[in-house]
Amino acid sequence: MIEIGLDLPWPAYGCDPATLAGRSVYVDDTGQPRNAAYMITRAVVSGRTLRLYTDTTAIRGYLDDQDFDKGFAYDLEVGRVARVPQLRTWEV
C-alpha cells in the first residue's frame, strides 16, 4: 500500500477514487536505475489521506546479498513524491 497525504480535501480533485484503479502511480526514484511505477488495483480516501493498493512489491532487493538478516532495500521511502497522471477530456 502507498499512503499519500493530500494538500486539499479529496472532493477538490474532482474524481471518484474508484477511477484510479487500472492507472499507474509513479514514485520519484531519483538516483535509482529503475522505474518505481505501480499499477493501482484499489484506492481509498480518508480525510486528506489517499491509500493506493497495488499487486506489486516495493522491495528492490536485499541490503546485503551476503547477509539477508540486514533486511530489504525498498523503492518507496517516506517523503518521496508520487503522482497519478489524470486523463481528462473537454468538449468544445
- Structure confidence by residue, pLDDT tens digits, 16-72: 899 999 999 888 776 666 678 889 999 999 989 999 999 988 888 899 999 999 999
Query: What three-state secondary structure class fits 83?
Result: strand
Cα 23–Cα 27–Cα 31 angle in degrees, nearest 5: 145
Q: What residue spans define the domains of the chain? A: 2-83
Neighbours of 7 (CB within 10 A): 7
Residue with the three cell numbers 481528462: 88
> pLDDT tens, 81-92?
788 887 555 566
Distance CA 89, CA 70 (A): 48
Q: Which three cell numbers stand for residue 74?
A: 525498498
The strand pair at 37-46 and 59-62 is best described as unpaired
